[in-house]
Amino acid sequence: IGKLTAILEDRLAAREIIHGVLLDILGLGVLIVGDSGIGKSECALDLIERGHSLVSDDMTRFRAMEGRELVGTSPDLTRNHMEIRGLGIINVMSIFGIGSVRLEKRLDLIVTLKDWQELEEVDRIGLDQEYYEILEILIPHITIPVRTGRDLSHLVEVAALDQKLKNMGQNSAVEFNQRLLNLMQKKKKE
């Protein structure tokens, strides 16, 4: 009965397809989204070269597990493959090895790549946590401005590390803000 229940929950789970690249970065499932041509696949390719794993390129299928978490995977046709403008379709597993791909991954963070000029305001401190809703589940979300010369893959990797710290209860922006408030309070007393 337990096995049947698990199978039925998986088969009947709510599903949605999102346009983006899903990667396993240091154990976190990170979905990179953004306008067509913004550099999602190129960023993902650089992250794979750094040792992280591809789950899905371009179209990622998500299913809600018990209404608590989202698990993403690739459509069978495109599994282990990426489309890189100028290169065409590449087989990631053949080029980088079996460790460079994963069948599925829980979604922990969504990173939106957005053209710098299209952003009205850029969050410079990070106190306010944004969320992205998929299948009625809120996922932490950040927006990274895209500008010539920025190392997007490094920024996405650091965003994943920062999210990992937040999951462990350490929020750098909140800690910095508290230190600043304490310093201001101390100066005020003097």
Active centre residues (catalytic): 19, 40, 58, 124
Helix (H, G, I), strand (E, B) or coil at 138: strand
**What is the sign, positive or negative, of the torsion defined by CA atoms of 66, 67, 68, 71?**
positive
Instruction: Please state, in angstroms and rounded to a whole number, the distance separating the CA atoms of residues 186 and 190.
Output: 7
Tokens 């229940």, residue? Answer: 5
- Measure the CA–CA gap between 41 and 24, rounded to whole angstroms: 14
